[in-house]
């Protein structure tokens, strides 16, 4: 019975990850229908034209980390065989599945997941 529960839990986690990937694909599809992006040459020219020193620029507010961002990294690690590591980090952040992690924990969890992905 214990093995069946573990399998069921793993399947739920896989479903959470797949749900997140589906959301990302949907967002990408919506973004690609909004029109063409600036050509790379235009982007580079814009960067060259703004010769403002980096140190003088005001630090931009960090964009809050979204659950989808965490899902992408977690899915990549899980596919590479790191399911147990992902599970341990989710539990460390007070949840039994990724979708139950408090939003305030997304940034810290993402950094830790990226550390696993980098092999550190």
pLDDT tens digit sequence for 28-51: 666 666 555 555 455 455 445 555
- Report pLDDT for 91: 94
At residue 54, does pLDDT exceed 70? Answer: no
Kindly report the average pLDDT of the chain as a whole number.
76
- The reported pTM is 0.49
More confident position, 108 or 50:
108
CB contact at 8 A, 45 and 38: no
Lowest-confidence region among 11-15, 23-27, 28-32 = 28-32
Instruction: Determine the average pLDDT of the residues in 72-99.
Output: 92
Supply the angle between the helices 67-77 and 106-117 in degrees, to the nearest 10: 20
User: How far apart are alpha carbons 116 and 108 in whole angstroms?
Assistant: 13
């Amino acid at each position: 019975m214990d093995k069946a529960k573990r399998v069921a839990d793993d399947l739920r986690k896989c479903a959470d990850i797949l749900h997140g990937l589906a959301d990302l694909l949907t967002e990408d599809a919506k973004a690609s229908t909004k029109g063409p992006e600036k050509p790379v040459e235009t982007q580079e020219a814009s960067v060259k034209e703004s010769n403002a020193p980096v140190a003088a620029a005001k630090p931009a507010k960090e964009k809050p980390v979204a659950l989808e961002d965490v899902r992408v990294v977690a899915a990549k690690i899980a596919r590479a065989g790191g399911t147990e590591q992902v599970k341990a980090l989710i539990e460390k952040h007070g949840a039994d599945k990724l979708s139950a992690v408090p939003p305030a924990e997304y940034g810290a969890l993402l950094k830790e997941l990226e550390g696993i992905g980098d092999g550190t």
